[in-house]
Chain A
Amino acid sequence: MRDGDPPLRLLSLPNKPLQNIVRFMNHIDQFALSLVSNRSKELMKSINLECRKINIKVDTDVSIQIEFLNGIIECSFADYQRSIDNPSPTNIKAKVSLGNRGGFVHSKPEYRFEEWLNHVLEIYHKSELNAVHFITLLPDMESFRKTFGTFSYLKWIRGVTSVDVRDVFRIFRPEKQLMFAVGILHQERCEKIDSLHEKGSKYVEFLDGYNIRRRDGTVATISFNKRYSFIMLNIIQCMDYIDQFALSLVSKRSKELVKSIDIECISVNIKVDSGILIQILIASKILLECSFDDYQRSIDNPSPTNIKSKVSLENRQGFVHSKPEYRFEEWLNHAFEIYHKSELNQILCITLLPDIQSFRKTFKSCSTLIILVASDEVQIQEYSRTFRPEKRLIFGVKEFLGRDRSKISDHIYEILVQNLDEIYYNFMPELILDDLLMMNSRIIRIYFYEAIKYESMLHRFIKHWLAGSNPRLRYIELESLKSYYPQAEAILKGIKHEMVSKEDPETLNVFRAARIKNVEFLGGYNIRREDGTIATISFNKRRCFFIDGDPPLRLLSLPHKALRDIIQFMNHIDQFALSLVSNRSKELVKSIDIKCWRINIKVKTAISIKIQFPHDTIECSFDDYQRSIDNPSPSNIKSKVSFGNRQGFEHSKPEYRFEEWLNHALELYHQSELNRLSIFTPLPDMQSLRKTFSKVSTLIILEADDEPRVLEYYRYFRPEKDLIFTVEKDPKTLNAFKTSGIGKLKFRGGYNIRRRDGTVATVSFNERNSFV
């Protein structure tokens, strides 16, 4: 356009060229055009321009960011919330820029910050904001909240220590995701990154975080990943158990977030001692406890709201917390919800509670009730009636002596007649035949003071059993303080029996299948009922055992459809255990088409096969692989099989060496090749390890002490896709990065490789990115 030239009258052009003109413009010019007038704005809208996302960033200035594939328009408002009297002025000045290029400054008389935001949403046809990023907070968060409707993500980049996370999130309520994390301390960063990798989260980039601490001691870390929104869940998965629990207490949303990662625990229990405790057994020996000193302390208000709980993990000091709306029962339900449990596993009463009826109302059901010191059977009966344990009742009455058996018989019968998996009765004053015949549970252990005519009573009991009494009984163990070792000859007089040795495999199997532990079988006598059921009677010092073998289920004879369903109901580790039983069971599990994500080998102090599933990993670890020079890969090698946090089992198969275990896993989960071989510590004979599998996609060599070693391993294993390895950091390499203008990458150590022409390249890995 020359000077004096009349204007182009753009808007008078026919629609098609007009739209084409606008399409040819840069994003920032299109945006500038949209600000000229309402008609120009409508024109822009009519072209149906799209941006990827619209976000707000709150830093020293507030800015609206319009994200396109190839750049971001940023409208920055220095005057928003600068004045208390007029926090959102009209005619507010916006600095508009695209990427690093200069843009323009503009204001519109009728536009406040909110109108700018609506303008942006309107022209790019967005109904809502994508994300709000806080780097600093604003003086008036509530009025800021009113400037936009719903949005998906709230990211808080720098936490301010004095601000309660919960309050901020109450104001904003993002629709999809809240990005903040609890419990990751800065100094633990490296460990956390390691654990993220360990969990297979290799795409997570942890870029430091910010700790905030509430008055109750809860620590939250707010952290961000530049590009990936799923960092939150990964971070929560990597937190300490106590921090996950603390996070779940922050707000309803944080509770939902913690719930969403599906943390499992072994059991939720209650212990009644000087105070009452909720015990969450997370993994073997990892116990999270919430202790309540104020429960049932006041008669008027036995279960107060806002009750204080001391939360600790493995006896280490944790934090004290209370929630206004939480009584003891809400805490308990909270634990159930977080750990996805529907019922209490165990109630252990070391002391007794003043009001058991109101305590009973705090939970729906429990599996095991343990009462250590009851004053008498009446009390046990009352507890048992009130709590109705579903599986086990274990109790001890203070003393044998001074109690008249005839007066407590009715109470004892009511206890013994229960249809439970197990009853353990400590300190019964006197055992009589009716007690034995009354028993309806599968496993019964009784420690009693005396029995009149003990041998004759056992003789009569066996006769009743032969005639069909006690159909549910599988195992009974009797131990008497006064009536010593009963004589087998007297008990079995006139009863057909046969002797069994202590090595008799069938009897040992029956013990094992009934899961009778802590009992030494010293041989015994088999008796047989008319229906073919066999029972073994055994005597061990003062104890007398009677075990009735439940016949096995004949699983493989079930119809195929039922078999499939049964296996699908099992855990991965149980499916794996079943596959190891026999070839037929292996074929059966294979036929279900269970898929795992990948199968890896980890070489550390011991070698292990890791079978990864979406939520957990089966690990088969072999301590004896390459331990002997003569026989580096022995057959019948012992494998410790575990699943996530849970302890699994040890197993060996006569014909299985390490390579057969590996093939078993590959075959079972229909994998054609190994996904990854990670070498932390080299094995004595890497070449023979190579022969245990055909192909591997990725080879990871960590902590290799020199480059030739890396090359050597690479030549042995020849990974199909990736080679990842680490070497020491050196200043020359860092300089090379700087001079080549690569500024955005964090160099965390790498590896120099040299071509024949002398060119040196550095290979480095930065969580997600590898670069040369």
Chain B
Amino acid sequence: MSVEPEVPIVQVEEVRENPVLYKIISSDNHVFTISEHAVKLSKTLWDLITNLGLTAENALDNPIPVENVNGKNMETIVQFCERHKYDEEEPEYTNYIREFVLPEWDRQLLSIDNEELFQLILATNYLDIQKLMDYCCRVIGDMAKDKTPEELRIIYGIPTDAEDDALERSASDSPGPSG
């Protein structure tokens, strides 16, 4: 991905409809613009915007640095938020939330490699975007369908107990910070 600061990567149609735009800089210095409705889906970003006192007038002049999220993930996140910015608020699920159909558009968006999905979840968790978190988790949960425990170990990269024990031993054997 070429780095072109100040050039918005995301410029979807909905953005143009909304006059209030914010700029976000990813950890690898990519710059994204995002509409007010979309950014509200991220609790972290919206809290930040509120705390920084950004307004329609000064928003574009004050880009928000997000050091925990790289450009690739930020691009996915911005696309997601723009897509879902006018969705109705969903009731908060307290217990099992297994009963929803993942929309096709989102399924395509999340058809990415395991490592990318992993990083996206970390980013989503940091930015606190509930809906995207649900969707990512659903995709990962679905990966378990009809698999044996051995297949799950491979897919989810779960170490064996012996490996875990060895790791624990080596951690306790290694000297602490003081030496």
Contact = CB atoms under 8 A, between A and B. Distances in A.
A is bound by B:
yes
Interface of A: 342, 365, 390, 419, 509-510, 512-513, 515, 550-559, 561-562, 565-571, 574, 577-578, 580-585, 646, 649-651
Contact of A513 (B115, B154, B164): B154
A281 to B, nearest CB: 14
A570 B140 CA distance: 9
A550 B143 CA distance: 13
Interface string B133-146: 11011101111111
10 contacts: A551-B113, A552-B114, A552-B154, A562-B124, A562-B137, A568-B98, A570-B141, A577-B147, A577-B148, A585-B158
Contact of A569 (B95, B117, B138, B150): B138
A556 B158 CA distance: 7
A557 B119 CA distance: 11
Contacts of A552: 114, 154-157
A558 B158 contact: no
Given A559-B121, A584-B164, A565 B137 contact: yes
A513 B147 CA distance: 9
Interface residues of B, number: 45
Contacts of A510: 154
A390 B104 contact: yes
B141 A557 contact: no
B137 A554 contact: no
B137 A569 contact: yes
Contacts of B136: 562
A551 B138 contact: no
A551 B96 contact: no
Given A550-B113, A555-B140, 17 more contacts: A342-B101, A552-B156, A552-B157, A553-B140, A553-B156, A562-B133, A565-B137, A565-B141, A568-B141, A569-B138, A570-B141, A570-B145, A571-B145, A574-B152, A581-B149, A582-B164, A584-B159
A649 B148 contact: yes
B153 interface: yes
B161 interface: yes
B27 interface: no
A551 B115 contact: yes
Contacts of A585: 152, 158
A697 B7 CA distance: 69
A558 B154 contact: no
A513 B114 CA distance: 12
Given A578-B144, A581-B153, A651-B150, A557 B97 contact: no
Given A568-B96, A569-B138, A578 B157 contact: no
B160 interface: yes
Interface of B: 95-98, 101, 104, 108, 111, 113-115, 117-118, 121-122, 124-125, 133-134, 136-138, 140-161, 164
A652 to B, nearest CB: 10
A581 B121 contact: no
Contacts of B117: 553
A577 B98 CA distance: 17
Nearest to A556: B158
Contacts of A649: 146-149
A365 B104 contact: yes
Point out which of A510, A550, A582, A584 has the most chain B C-beta atoms below 10 A from its C-beta: A582
A551 B164 CA distance: 19
Given A558-B121, A559-B125, A512 B140 contact: no
A554 B156 CA distance: 5
Of all A-B residue pairs in the complex, the 4 with the closest CB atoms, nearest first, are A552-B157, A569-B141, A555-B156, A565-B137
Nearest to B121: A562
Contacts of A580: 149
Given A568-B96, A569-B138, A557 B118 contact: yes
B149 A577 contact: yes
A367 to B, nearest CB: 11
A582 B158 contact: yes
Nearest to B137: A565
B114 A584 contact: no
B158 to A, nearest CB: 5
Contacts of A550: 113-114
Select the residue from A551, A559, A565, A646 with max chain B CB neighbours within 10 A.
A565
Contacts of A419: 108, 111
Contact of B154 (A509, A566, A577): A509
Contact of A584 (B121, B122, B158): B158
Nearest to B156: A555
A568 B98 CA distance: 7
Contacts of B141: 565-570, 574
Contact of A566 (B104, B137, B151, B160): B137
A571 B96 CA distance: 10
B157 A554 contact: yes
A565 B131 CA distance: 12
A419 to B, nearest CB: 8
A509 B150 CA distance: 9
Nearest to A558: B121
A311 to B, nearest CB: 27
B114 A553 contact: yes
A582 B154 CA distance: 12
Contacts of A558: 118, 121-122, 125
B114 A578 contact: no
A580 B143 CA distance: 16
Contact of A553 (B101, B125, B155, B161): B155
A569 B158 contact: no
Contacts of A512: 150-151, 154
Nearest to A586: B161
B115 A569 contact: no
B156 A565 contact: no
B23 to A, nearest CB: 27
B114 A565 contact: no
A583 B160 CA distance: 8
A518 to B, nearest CB: 16
Given A390-B104, A580-B149, A582-B153, A553 B144 contact: no
A570 B158 contact: no
A195 to B, nearest CB: 26
Nearest to A364: B104
A565 B145 contact: no
B152 A553 contact: no
Given A566-B137, A582-B160, A574 B153 contact: no
Contacts of B144: 570-571, 574, 577-578
A650 B133 contact: no
Nearest to A580: B149
A532 to B, nearest CB: 10
Contacts of B125: 558-559, 561-562
